[in-house]
Amino acid sequence: MVLIKRKILFFAHYYAPDVASTGQILQDLAEGMQESFEVTVICTVPSYSGVIEKKYHKKKLYKETINGVRIIRISVPEFRKNSKMSRIHNLLAYFWGARKAVKAIGQQDYVLVISQPPIMGGMLGVYGKKKIRNENGCPPKLIYCIQDYNPEQIEAVGYFQNKMLIAVMRWLDKRTCRKSDLIVTVGRDLIETLNKRFAGKTVPNYTMINNWIDEKQIHPLSSEDPGVIAFKRSYDIEDKFIIMYSGNIGLYYDLENVIKVAGKFCNAKTSDGKDVVFVFVGDGSVLSKLKAYREKCGLENIVFIPYQNKDNLIYSLNAADVHLCMNAKGMKGVSCPSKFYGIAACGKPILGVLESGSEIQMLIKEINNGLVSDPGDIMSIEKNIQTFINMAGSEKIVQMGLRGHEYLIQHFTKEMSIKRYMEAINML
């Protein structure tokens, strides 16, 4: 008996080989669903860094297949992460290009969109539901995966303050929620926000499915592993006690406060004589500010390292003794830092800077795999850093990290989360 696969279309702003966390999650999901679905992805050409390879400068549309997934890539202009206008130009190019690509996409049974780019990601899903039909001539079912709520996110950090525009954005995203056959949120606090959005009215159909990391690719390694040693040697951080932040160095985190606290530990050493260093791995709109602060204050205990490719990520994550997992004030119920899953996968303890009642803050407390401070609470952050320094080299700090890994293996493996998506979609 030949299994007839249903067809599902993903709108994914970023997709492999881009290193954006949402792109990696969608790649895992797309490839993991192929047993039951024929998957097509509409995304940009690789451009997360803002720079685009010359081979993507010639056409408006590029088609390829990656691990069985059909990919349609939209040509977009390069952008600077610290320039609002160039970013908006880039996003609009993807939005309009993706709409045009829909015309030639063929029949689809489902459309899955993510809340990136803000507002426009959801709008593409609504457009796809309107324009596409399945083999019976009916609209496809729309699944809206909310990783971040907007305009709530940009309001929280004051990215812009035009009240009329914010009101329009809120209306558009609520419209996407209403048009969706299923909303997937990634945290308990995000469910609270959805209920608040529709207070007194019918709340759209929703479920919660946590994000994940591929635990077969990211797992604990010994400090003596050759790859970990090579990574440390490459950036001159051998024989250091490393407190690491790995990911987007952007607006939605408390990084500017944290680097000020890090400066207070400029000459700090562990009990066994290791220098304490703070390592920031990644790129983003706040990176230039952090570098300027380091130079201004002469902070030799601050190290900046570029994004690591997927093959090196296991070594960079395992190089840390402690990992920072953070959000800016106002992000509770708005955004859920998926870097938590990578930290847990490599069995490292967490220095959380997260609001009380947010999904990841609650997980850290429930698992007991780290210490948590509120964003902006300098004294508490400093105290927790000192606590980790005091625990350096102890069994206590090792066990703290391993509790996170054990919990992830029991609850948040890639296979488990993809199965939850499949089950939720099958119920539509």
pLDDT at residue 282 greater than cutoff 60? yes
Question: CA angle, 409 as apex, 405 and 413 as ends, to 5°?
Answer: 120
pLDDT of residue 201: 92
Cα gap 14→274, rounded to integer Å: 39
Encode pLDDT of 396-408 as tens digits.
999 999 999 999 9
Cα gap 90→51, rounded to integer Å: 11
Which 3 state secondary structure label does DSSP give 79? coil
Does this chain's domain 6-212+413-426 share its CATH topology with 226-411?
yes
pLDDT of residue 81: 74
pLDDT of residue 284: 84
Encode pLDDT of 2-28 as tens digits.
568 999 999 999 998 988 888 889 999
pLDDT of residue 315: 97
Mean per-residue pLDDT over the chain, rounded = 93
pLDDT at residue 198 greater than cutoff 70? yes
Is residue 265 within 8 A of residue 290, CB to CB? The reply is: no
> In this structure, what token pair is assigned to residue 246?
């790995």
Of the chain, the percentage scoring pLDDT greater than 90 comes to 79
DSSP 83-108: -HHHHHHHHHHHHHHHHHHHTTS---
Greater confidence (216 vs 159) lies with 216
What single-letter DSSP state applies at residue 109? S
Is residue 102 within 8 A of residue 127, CB to CB? The reply is: yes
* pTM for this model (two decimals): 0.92
pLDDT at residue 57 greater than cutoff 80? yes
Encode pLDDT of 65-90 as tens digits.
999 999 999 999 988 877 778 888 99
> How distant is the alpha carbon of residue 380 from its chain centre?
26
pLDDT of residue 110: 98
Does the domain spanning 6-212+413-426 belong to CATH 3.40.47.10? Answer: no
Is residue 280 within 8 A of residue 303, CB to CB? The reply is: yes
Encode pLDDT of 315-329 as tens digits.
999 999 999 999 988
pLDDT at residue 248 greater than cutoff 90? no
Ranges of each domain in the chain: 6-212+413-426, 226-411
As a whole number, mean pLDDT of residues 88-110 equals: 93
As a whole number, mean pLDDT of residues 223-230 equals: 95
Which 3 state secondary structure label does DSSP give 207? strand
Cα gap 344→187, rounded to integer Å: 17
pLDDT of residue 2: 55
pLDDT of residue 285: 82
Of the chain, the percentage scoring pLDDT greater than 70 comes to 99
> How distant is the alpha carbon of residue 274 from its chain centre?
32
As a whole number, mean pLDDT of residues 111-115 equals: 97
**Band of pLDDT at residue 177, cut at 50, 70 and 90:** very high
CATH superfamily of 226-411: Glycogen Phosphorylase B; (3.40.50.2000)
